[in-house]
Amino acid sequence: MKYIEEHIAHPDESLRVMRLTLDSFRTARHRHRHLELTWIEQGSGLRFVAGNVEPFHAGDLVLLGPDVAHAWVSSLAHRGEPHVATVVQFAPDLIVGSPIPELARLKELVTRASSGLRIQGVAANEVRASLERIVEARGLRRIATLFEVLERLSESPQDLEPIAVSTTLTSPRSREDRRIDRVIHWIHANLERPLAVEEAARLVHVTPAAFSRYFRREVGKNFSEYINDVRCSEACLRLSRSDRPIADIATTCGFATLSNFNVQFKARFHVTPRSFRRDLRLA
């Protein structure tokens, strides 16, 4: 996925609100100086936040801080189906630079969002209801609704799960971002076959040892961990959206053996692939 530095402009409003209806989510990995609250109303695929990759489904609700690289990418098998998202973007200065004393309590939320926050529990249900109102609201009512949402989140730390390590940037890193995106694109394009550090290192013209250090620094985890994360996340999607045998899904996601797939999947999701699929069918 190509990396994009997005410039957001909304000179006549304090925040930008979008309700998107698409045939798929397939944006390039990008970042911007705004905070972003994203609610996936319909659709499924893989969510990329900094060095983290996980499956997403309808109901996914995430708050991202400034300069966090991110993308939502629909599963290939389900492109063309309705995909709907509500997205709210606002500058951190709306809170951090505000002279209003009551907003000071929200500054910690902005700091926590630098790692990306998955919103869950009771807070998630209330935020979704507020986002339905914010789409229709205008002017001061829209701003007031946003502050209600942020206050609710600041009061519910137990419902906010960090997604990745903090990725707040203090200076441009466009060259490094282009290099890491080249590697990430290559991983996703070749997920079904064995992937070696030596081959990845050649993509960015460094030694395997230098590549391993570079990849951990840029992504926050080592090369093999990231690949297994992507493979397990892709397997989640295929388990939930098809009746194919688990062994076939393991193979097409790049696992050499079913036993290794079971170990890696359980390490990440605390359940076996078979139990994961069974629980989905019972839900």
Domain closes at, from 162, 186, 213: 162
* Distance (Å, whole) CA 227 – CA 212: 13
Domain closes at, from 162, 188, 213: 162
Q: Are 70 and 113 in contact (CB under 8 A)?
A: no
pLDDT at residue 10 is higher than 80: no
Burial class (CB in 10 A: 0-12, 13-18, 19+), 36: buried
Residues 222 and 189 in one domain: yes
Q: What is the CATH number of the domain that holds 255?
A: 1.10.10.60
Residues 43 and 95 in one domain: yes
Q: In the chain, helix, strand, coil percent, each to 5?
A: 50, 20, 30
Using alpha carbons, select from 1, 167, 132, 160 the residue that is nearest to residue 74: 1
**DSSP assignment of 132-153:** HHHHH--HHHHHHHHHHHHHHH
Residues 156 and 184 in one domain: no
φ/ψ bin of 100: left (φ > 0), alpha (ψ from -120 to 50), beta (otherwise): beta
What rounded mean pLDDT belongs to the chain? 87
* Distance (Å, whole) CA 218 – CA 206: 15
Domain closes at, from 162, 194, 223: 162
State the total domains in the chain.
Answer: 2
- Residue 123 lies in domain: 4-162
pLDDT tens digit sequence for 27-80: 767 889 999 999 999 988 888 898 788 888 899 999 999 989 888 888 766 667
pLDDT at residue 170 is higher than 60: no
Q: Which long-range contacts does 142-148 make (Cβ < 8 Å, 24+ apart)?
A: 142/13, 142/15, 142/17, 143/14, 143/15, 146/15, 146/88, 146/90, 147/103, 147/106
273-282 vs 258-269: helix crossing angle, rounded to 10:
60
Q: Are 120 and 157 in contact (CB under 8 A)?
A: no
Using alpha carbons, select from 167, 192, 190, 163 the residue that is nearest to residue 56: 163
Other CB atoms within a 10 A radius of the CB of residue 72 amount to 23
Residues 126 and 158 in one domain: yes
Q: What is the CATH number of the domain that holds 53?
A: 2.60.120.280
Distances in whole angstroms, Cα of residue 159 to Cα of each of 70, 152, 154: 21, 10, 10
Asked, for residue 167, whether it belongs to a domain, the answer is no
Percent of the chain with pLDDT over 90: 55
Residues 237 and 125 in one domain: no
Residues 13 and 121 in one domain: yes
pLDDT tens digit sequence for 208-241: 999 999 898 888 789 999 999 999 988 988 888 7
